[in-house]
Amino acid sequence: MAAGGFELYATVWNCRTWKIQNVVNSGGSRSEAKLVRFAPSGTQLFVKGDFDIPGKIWRVHEGTVKCELEDDKFLTSDAGFSPDGRLVGTVGFEGIQLWDAETGRLLEKQRGNYNSVAISPDGKLMAVSSNWGTITLFKVNLTLVPPVASSRP
């Protein structure tokens, strides 16, 4: 389990023992860790603070930064890893971003205003929800292929 907090700290607990396993600091004291998300393997943790503080992907067990997302200057509402942990999708009021989780390189960006993101268990689709009540599916192939479906609930 992980939780964000002030001064960009994220705390990771062992859920069996409820002991703190690690504390990571995203570098800085101007903000708080507003969003934390584990990769499916549990070995990586995405941490994001305010607008001007880039998201970082941490190695959970070492407590070290694996990479920082390049040119990540927007508020992020949600993030989700691909099943293999190689990609991370982020969404917010500036759009959708698809990142290389190994290097932090931005692979694709599309404008829009989105609330949440999820990558399918096979890693082939990314679902995003918008502020207008729509859910859009994108094909994922190291880029976002135009929507394959979009609907309102």
Domain-by-domain residue ranges, the chain?
A: 2-151
- Region of 21 (left: φ > 0; alpha: ψ -120 to 50; beta: rest) is alpha
The CATH class for the domain spanning 2-151 reads mainly beta
Going by C-alpha positions, the residue among 90, 77, 1 that lies closest to residue 42 is: 1
pLDDT-derived band at 111 (thresholds 50, 70, 90) equals: confident
Half-sphere exposure of 65 (CA within 13 A, CB side): 14
Pick 55 or 49 by higher pLDDT.
55
Tell me the per-residue pLDDT of 59-107, one tens digit each, with 9 for 90 and over: 888 878 899 888 777 778 889 999 999 999 999 888 889 999 999 999 9
Average the pLDDT over 18-35 and give the result: 59
Residue 112: left if φ>0, alpha if ψ -120 to 50, beta else—which one? left
